[in-house]
Amino acid sequence: MLRKFILFLLILLAIGAGFGYTWFQGLKVDMHARSQTACTIKIDPGMSVQKIAQILHEQGVISNPDLFRWKAYYQKIDKSLKAGEYLFDKGLTIQQTLDLLVSGKTVYQVFTVPEGLTMAQIAERVAEINLESEEFIALASDSAFVRSLGFSVRTLEGYLYPDTYYLSDEVDDELFIRRMVGEFWNQIPKNSKQRADSMGFSLHEIVTLASIIEGEAQVDSERTIISAVYHNRLRLGHKLEADPTVQYAHGTRKKRLLYKDLEIDSPYNTYLYPGLPPGPINSPGSASIRAALYPANVDYFFFVASGDGTHIFTKTATEHNRARRTVRKKR
């Protein structure tokens, strides 16, 4: 028994020695076989440490991707490598490369605008990239500036496209707004205006509808169905009765609206006023814009949130009320 135990220990020591030798050899390789040229590489948000190691190795920044991954895991920084476009100087070691990725010192600043934010919410966030929130909201609401971008609307609400942006340190509020508007035109379907016209809508109305869909949908597969409900109600002259429009009128996204909240006198209150509100209530993504342009072919007129992010869709008021009672019982 003792002999087997000693043999087991010897095997473990041999494995450990082999691993240590391999690691040390890798460390020596890293120390002496460094990159011969400087280069810039973009690390995307959510990229795994394995993918980062692969890219850096392919570009000649590191010579040992296995050691890069091991160091990242051993130092528990594999989840701390920040996205962005980095300048990797000539001659960096693996440790220096990791330190740079953890520091987030990029050539460009990375700024993400999620779908569904209002113009005011985006303005609050731009302070993160050293822009002026007040200047941002003032420009986005300036009628002359808005017209200069080719719009005949009051503000840029709905047209500040949600995406991840890589911005230089020289960017200012105006340049960033122009970039976001440019991305809006790049991302929406090329035939959006023609498609909207064929449906009897202006593009502004489609973006408005898309913003309501964005405010309602939590599951991508439901976007076109939610769109169909609103299209069906608009076609028959029914009020949209969309909660996100009431939340926008109140200036806050309450988790649960009370009956008294539905009484606010605002043109954005689709419980009080028929048709679409005057304009978008947030910045919709391309999926919601496409859903507004291409609704599902269904004859639903109602839906209620089921509590898990999905909705129960119904055709009649009787079915809708039954669905509401079912949801209430589950709460």
* Residue 322 domain flag: no
Q: Write down the H helix ranges in 236-294.
A: 243-250, 286-293
> Looking at the structure, do residues 59 and 87 belong to the same domain, yes or no?
yes
Query: For each successive 10 residues of the chain (331 residues), what is the average pLDDT?
Result: 53 52 46 59 93 93 93 95 87 89 85 96 93 96 94 96 87 93 94 97 98 97 98 97 96 82 95 97 98 98 93 96 90 71
Look up the pTM and report it: 0.73
Q: In terms of residue numbers, what domain contains 182?
A: 110-187
The helix (H) or strand (E) run that includes residue 70 is helix 65-74
Q: Residues 293, 206: one domain?
A: yes
Query: Residue 88 is part of a domain; what is its CATH number?
Result: 3.30.1490.480
Looking at the fold, whether 222 and 284 belong to one and the same domain comes out as: yes
Q: Is residue 28 part of a domain?
A: no
Residue 247 lies in a domain: yes
Are 127 and 101 found together in one domain?
no
Q: Which residues have C-beta within 8 Å of that of residue 40, sequence separation ≥ 6?
A: 85, 86, 87, 88, 107
Q: Are residues 172 and 211 in the same domain?
A: no
Domain presence at residue 15: no
Specify whether 98 is located in the same domain as 130: no
**Distance, CA of 204 to CA of 307 (rounded, Å):** 31
| Residues 224, 174 within the same domain | no
Task: Note the pLDDT of residue 25.
Answer: 46
- Domain assignment of residue 122, yes or no: yes
Q: Say if residue 203 is in the same domain as residue 294.
A: yes
DSSP reduced 3-state for 293: helix
The pLDDT of residue 121 is: 97
The answer to whether the beta carbons of residues 133 and 126 sit under 8 Å apart is: yes
Q: Tell me if 318 is assigned to some domain.
A: no
CA-angle at 279, arms to 276 and 282, nearest 5°? 110
Check whether residue 82 and residue 166 sit in a common domain. Answer: no
How many domains does the chain fold into?
A: 3
Examine the domain organization and report whether 249 and 159 are in the same domain: no
CA–CA distance, 14 with 3 (Å, rounded to integer): 16
Same domain, yes or no: 205 and 288: yes
